[in-house]
Structure formats: C-alpha cells, structure tokens
Amino acid sequence: MGITEKIKRNIDMTSWKDKIPVNYIYTVGIAGEKFFREIKDNGKIVGTKCEKCEVTFVPPKIYCERCFSRLENYIDVGTKGTVHTFTICYENVDGTKKEEPTIIAMVKIDGTDGGLVHWLGEIDSKDVEIGMSVEAIFKAKEEREGSILDIKYFKPT
Amino acid sequence: MGMRRVAIVGAGLTKFVRRAQETGKELAYEAAKMALDSCELTLEDVGCVSLGTAPDAFDGVHMKGEYLSDGAGGWRKPVMRPYVGGGTGVFNAIHGWFHVASGLFDICLVVAEEKMSSCYPHPAGAFLTIFDHTTEQPLKPNLIWIFALEMRRYMETYGISHRDIALVSVKNKKNAMDHPCAQIPQEITVDDVLNSEVLADPVHRLDISPTSDGAAALVLVAEHIAKKITDKPVWIDGVGWNVDTAYWATRDLCYPRYVEKAARMAYEMAGIKEPHKEIQVAEPYDPFDYKELHHMEGLLLCGKGEAPRLTAEGVTARDGNLPTCPSGGLLGVGNPIAASGVMKICEIFWQLRGEAGKRQVPGKPKVGLAQAWGDLMQVGTVIVMKV
C-alpha cells in the first residue's frame, strides 16, 4: 500500500465520510443596500463616481479603490450596456447537461467603468457578438426582492 | 541583525458588533482609511499591504485575501495575506514589520478584518473542520469543548477556582465601558459569570468573548519616514512567533509553551531581560477569561499558576502595576478574530502615546506588549512596542 499503488476509489480504503454543513447569509453592505434598493423599488441601476479619479463604479462602492476617497454620490447610470465578452454554457454546476444552453455575458454599463455579469435573453446563442448593445430587463415590480436576479437578463436593444 | 527599525505611526479601528451591515471590504476600508487619516498619509504613499483575516469559512468567500484587497487599500499594490488562525492579527503586524524592516518597503498598511456573522446559524460551525478529519471530526468536536478541556487542566494543575478566573471577565468587560468601539461593555460580578449558562463545563457563557464583525488597521513605516511625519512614533522593537503540534491531545494543556517561546524570541530582540518588571502595559489574548491568565504566565509576566493571584490583588487592573487588557480585551471589546489582534496593538499604540483617553493607564508607560494566539491552541504571536 501507499503512494506507488494505483487506487481507483477512496471508498476501497478505510475512510471517514463527512460533509461541511455550513450556511451563510451575506449582507449586501452599505453600497449594496442602495444598489439593490434602486433595482427593487425603481428598476434602476446606480453607481458611485470618484470625481478625483474620474471613475464610476458599477456596482457602487463606498470607496474609490484607487485613491481611497469616500464615495457618497449615487448616480443613475441607466440600464443599457455593451457585451464585453460572453460564453455559452451547456453544463450545470454538477456536470449534468443543461436542457437549454445559457448565455452568460459580461455587460459593461454604458458611460461607466463598471459592469455586471448576467444572462442574455431573447437572443439565439449564435447571434451573440462582442460589442453588441443590450439592456437590462427587470422582473415585474411585485416579484422583485432586492437581488441581482431582479434583473431577469439583458437583451439586445 | 541588518534590519531597519520600524515604527507604528497610525491606527484605525471600527466599532466591533455582532452583525455589521457593512461587507468585509467596507469594514476593511473604514479601518484602513482611519489609520491613514490618523497620520495624514494617503493611499498613494503606501508601498504595500499586509492583509490579515482568519478562516475563509467565516466570511464564506474562499479566497478572502484577494476578495478583501481593494477595501484594504491593495488596488494594484503588492499585497500579502498571512494566516495563523486566531493568532493572525498580531502575526499580520509582524508580517508588515518584515516588509519594512527588510528595506523592501518604506510604508506598509496593515489591515485586519473579520465578518463572522455571514456564517449561520453560528460561526462556530466554521470551526468544525479545523480538527483532524479522521480522529477528531467524527466526534463532532466544537471549540468550546476543547477549551473546556484546557481550562480544566489549568485549574486542576494549579488549584485555581472558577471564581479566580471569572475575575478576568469582570475586569475586562468593565474596562470596555470606556472603549467607544466595544461590543459588550458590562459591569458584572463574579457571581454573574458563575451563574451564566454552562456551555461546556467549566466554561460558562460569560467566560467567553462574543463573535463579532469588525476591522482594525495600522500604518508601519521605516525610521526615516517616522521621524519626518510624527513626534510620537511607537517602535516595534521585538517580534516573536511559535507553533506547537496540532496533535493537541499530546500536549500538557496547563501551560502554553509555544507562547513562552514566541515571547522569549520577542524579548531577546527587544533587549528585555526581566519581562515582569520591564513590560508596563500588556494586551494578552483573552478570547476566554482563563486564557488571559494562561497567556500572562506564558509571556513570563508572572510565575506558573500565579496570574489569578495578581488579578485578585488588582495588579492587572488599569491602575495596577501591570495593567492587562486596559482596552477591555476580546471579552469586552469583542472578537472579530484577526481584527481583535490588531485591536490589541492599536490599544498599546494609543497607551504608549498617551492617547488612550479614559482608558489611559497611569505612569506614562514606555514599554508595552500585545499577544495573540490561535490555530488548534498551538500558535503564539508576540510584539513588544516602545516609545
């Protein structure tokens, strides 16, 4: 026995089976509270701007990571963006095949230095292109709960 | 030794709370910003960042160092994350000291953060997997019961009563009444401690520090910078750390030898020959009341088994000859793991500069010490500071 022996299954050796049963509730934070409240209540996307560095953060931050200024000015940045890059995903997290592939895109929010990673919808995967204009589609107001999933997906404009 | 002298010139601390709305990054920012503002430096002046934070499992972000880095001022800077469990806070400052003492950087921002409240129903769940997965985890150990084992060994070996130990909790929670960042400042009695809920005999609820969210930060600079920007530099003149075996059941739990070894390393570097006479104010690590006593002995601030007597005689009170945890310690101020070690260094920094306000110990102390402890009851980290 030992490292030179080829072992096909852990379970063939004496072992203790266990799991790590830990759960989390993550607060969205000070900036996150503004960001998600605007999405939920008004269907708007907000960011914060550092006037000194001329950088607009989306999602907003309470600080500029470049100069450490405190940022308190939340601005409506609109709901339109540009596909910066994308992928088409065929497998679920557990490795099983998805019934329908999903399109994941990194969307740069226009006029800002930030962006959101989200799904693309109302488009066939073979029609997706880098640089295409998209906009956020929100769930109906009564279904929104203050999460990133309040945005259903981005769709081509 | 070929090392440069390093000074602490700024400190920052958030309030410690059970549940912060702020994210870990936001907490780190508040402390880091306060530390920089306190010495009128900006992020641009910072050469590197040392970021201390305890198990990833608390925040539930399994690359926590990198995740927190921008809040800690690490944007496009050399950032390193040291980690030795509960000893991380003091170790983080030692790690920052290396960066400056070595000559590699003139200014290092040291930031420590912990947001334990994300993990539910209780962050103790994140400790389940620190134990050996085959010999210990099947027994469903938890932190409190291993400390109960250690506390009982300590009591048994030296004939110490729970009443003797509870005095530490009474003292520290009371000291915390004067700390604006404190989570559970309280005036309690020894009977309150003894009558509080038994968690794992002999450990009762009021023997233990709370779980907390919070952050703390320091600015460390080289001597030539310190002399330029402040009249009151606090020098880090000794550092020490040591790790014992994780086979904790093979150790005699009544005495923390690894703390002694870490302390001796720091004392030798700082030229301290008789620590019980030369150290004038100390922040030994006190996540449990008995640990302050245990650590005073490991730090050679008194003989083995003598710490309870010093406590009972008032020697360790804020106006005693050897004040310990004048901040209120983890028992009173709170215990966001890595941040609490840095909180202790902040306290000694303010005490030696005479800036501790209502918490100020008398006699203008010149030499102080901060210590933390962690992993499987196996690591000691020590810093000796002077003005």
* Averaged pLDDT for residues B302-317: 98
Q: What share of chain B is helix, strand, coil (3-state, %, to 5)?
A: 45, 20, 40
Short-list B329, B316, B340, CA closest to B289: B329
Banded model confidence at residue B15, pLDDT cuts 50, 70, 90: very high
pLDDT surpassing 90 at residue B136: no
Q: Chain A: residue nearest B23 by CA?
A: A29
**Radius of gyration for chain B, computed over Cα atoms and rounded to the nearest angstrom:** 19
* Relative orientation angle of helices B289-298 and B162-175, to the nearest 10 degrees: 100
Short-list B211, B209, B203, CA closest to B165: B203
pLDDT surpassing 90 at residue B141: no
- What is the amino acid identity at position A116? L
* Angle made by CA atoms B241, B103, B74, in degrees to the nearest 5: 80
Taking an 8 Å cut-off on Cβ atoms, the answer to whether A23 and B121 are in contact is: yes
For tokens 């972000």, the residue is B61
pLDDT surpassing 90 at residue A53: yes
Alpha carbon separation from B288 to B131, B140, B180, B205, B380 (Å, rounded): 20, 21, 21, 10, 15
* Angle made by CA atoms B168, B172, B176, in degrees to the nearest 5: 170
State how far the Cα of B301 lies from the Cα of B293, in Å rounded to an integer: 10
Helix (H) or strand (E) holding B332: helix B329-332
ipTM: 0.82
Between residues B367 and B253, which one has the greater pLDDT? B367
**Cβ within 8 Å of A, B 119-148:** 119-121, 125-126, 128-129, 133-134, 137-138
pLDDT surpassing 80 at residue A81: yes
What are the residues whose beta carbons fall under 8 Å from the beta carbon of B188, sequence distance 6 or more?
B169, B170, B173, B174, B206
Please tell me the predicted confidence (pLDDT) of residue A1: 59
Contact between A79 and A152 (Cβ < 8 Å): no
Contact between B47 and B107 (Cβ < 8 Å): yes
* Averaged pLDDT for residues B11-26: 96
Banded model confidence at residue B88, pLDDT cuts 50, 70, 90: very high
* Averaged pLDDT for residues B181-198: 97
| Phi-psi label, residue B19: left if phi above 0, alpha if psi -120 to 50, beta otherwise | beta
Alpha carbon separation from B108 to A69, B86, B135 (Å, rounded): 19, 22, 41
* Averaged pLDDT for residues B296-316: 98
Please tell me the predicted confidence (pLDDT) of residue B1: 59
For tokens 């690590």, the residue is B285
Contact between B312 and B165 (Cβ < 8 Å): no
Has domain A26-156 been given CATH number 3.40.50.11540? no
pLDDT tens profile B254-280: 999 999 999 999 999 999 999 999 999
Residue of A10, A17, A53, A65 to mutate when probing chain B, most B C-beta within 10 A: A65
pLDDT surpassing 90 at residue B380: yes
pLDDT surpassing 90 at residue B143: no
* Averaged pLDDT for residues B191-206: 94
Taking an 8 Å cut-off on Cβ atoms, the answer to whether B44 and A67 are in contact is: yes
State how far the Cα of B115 lies from the Cα of B123, in Å rounded to an integer: 10
Please state whether the peptide bond connecting residue B202 to the residue before it is cis, i.e. omega within 30 degrees of 0.
Answer: yes
Taking an 8 Å cut-off on Cβ atoms, the answer to whether A30 and B70 are in contact is: no
* Averaged pLDDT for residues B68-85: 96
Alpha carbon separation from B235 to B9, B255, B371 (Å, rounded): 9, 30, 16
Q: What is the mean pLDDT of chain B?
A: 95
Banded model confidence at residue B247, pLDDT cuts 50, 70, 90: confident
Q: Which two tokens stand for residue A18?
A: 């266990």
Banded model confidence at residue A5, pLDDT cuts 50, 70, 90: confident
Short-list A32, A29, A25, CA closest to A148: A32
Class of domain B6-119+210-386: alpha beta
Q: Which two tokens stand for residue B284?
A: 């030994």
pLDDT tens profile A87-142: 999 988 788 888 988 999 999 999 999 999 999 999 999 999 999 999 999 999 99
The residue ranges of every structural domain in chain B are 6-119+210-386
pLDDT tens profile B214-243: 999 999 999 999 999 999 999 999 999 999
State how far the Cα of B67 lies from the Cα of A22, in Å rounded to an integer: 20
- What is the amino acid identity at position B156? E
Q: Chain B: residue nearest A69 by CA?
A: B33
* Averaged pLDDT for residues B6-20: 97
Please give the distance of CA A54 from its chain centroid, rounded to a whole number.
24
The residue ranges of every structural domain in chain A are 26-156
User: Which of chain B's residues have a Cβ under 8 Å away from the Cβ of A66?
Assistant: 43, 75
The shortest C-alpha distance from B213 to chain A (Å) reads 12
Taking an 8 Å cut-off on Cβ atoms, the answer to whether A29 and B22 are in contact is: yes
Q: What share of chain A is helix, strand, coil (3-state, %, to 5)?
A: 15, 35, 45
Banded model confidence at residue B144, pLDDT cuts 50, 70, 90: confident
- Grouping H, G, I as helix, E, B as strand and the rest as coil, residue B176 is helix
pLDDT surpassing 90 at residue B186: yes
* Averaged pLDDT for residues B102-129: 90
Q: In this prediction, what percent of chain A has a pLDDT beyond 90?
A: 76
Contact between A42 and A92 (Cβ < 8 Å): no
Residue of B118, B135, B139, B211 to mutate when probing chain A, most A C-beta within 10 A: B118
**Radius of gyration for chain A, computed over Cα atoms and rounded to the nearest angstrom:** 21
State how far the Cα of B124 lies from the Cα of B121, in Å rounded to an integer: 9
Short-list B277, B253, B285, B232, CA closest to B377: B253
Taking an 8 Å cut-off on Cβ atoms, the answer to whether B23 and A32 are in contact is: yes
In degrees rounded to 5, what are phi and psi of residue B252? -85, 110
Q: In this prediction, what percent of chain B has a pLDDT beyond 90?
A: 85
* Averaged pLDDT for residues B86-115: 97
Q: Which two tokens stand for residue A112?
A: 């800002």
Please tell me the predicted confidence (pLDDT) of residue B60: 86
Please tell me the predicted confidence (pLDDT) of residue A20: 77
pLDDT surpassing 80 at residue B249: no
